Amino acid sequence: MSDRTSTQGVTRVPGKPVRLAALIYGIVFLLVGVLGFIPGVTTNYDQMQFAGHHSEALLLGLFQVSILHNLLHLILGVVGVAMARTAGLARAYLIGGGLAYLLLWIYGLMVGSDDPANIVPLNDADNWLHLVLWLSMIALGIALAPSRRGRTRT
């Protein structure tokens, strides 16, 4: 029995919206990770550190980044693209990623931008973005997941 349904010539695939959302987040994170290594797109590029609050590099002149920060974006992007293959994995990626960004948001609020504990590094713009990512990823992971009502276990 197929999970696909057809209505007036339009084929619907359960889980496609959540998979697409995970894929989009994955691609955006990959793009952000790459852009973080491009001088000009990242200002103060010559002051980028591997990690820590001393990295003065700013992606788009706004978001404080380091080599570690960019690598984390690249990893999160690869994971997102890979997990977009199934609805269950895509949902797990969005909710898990959202929870990770919740922790980063809390971490960013607890450490100051000049605090030695600020190893990622994070600034106020990063903190606001992490808040938006936390809320949007969790919301999409929940709202777009395919409904289990009416399905029988196989």
DSSP 135-151: HHHHHHHHHSSPP-TT-
pLDDT tens-digit map of 66-118: 999 999 999 999 999 999 999 999 999 999 999 999 999 999 999 877 788 88
pLDDT at 1: 42
pLDDT at residue 150 is higher than 60: no
Q: What band does 8 get if pLDDT is binned at 50, 70 and 90?
A: low
pLDDT at 153: 43
Q: What band does 9 get if pLDDT is binned at 50, 70 and 90?
A: low
Tell me if 87 sits within 8 A of 19, measured CB to CB: yes
Consecutive H or E run containing 90: helix 87-110
Burial of 108 (0-12, 13-18, 19+ CB in 10 A): buried
pLDDT at 64: 94
pLDDT tens-digit map of 13-45: 558 999 999 999 999 999 999 999 999 999 999
Q: Any idea what DSSP says for residue 15?
A: T
Q: Where are the domains of the chain?
A: 16-143
pLDDT at 22: 98
pLDDT at residue 6 is higher than 60: no
Q: pTM here?
A: 0.84
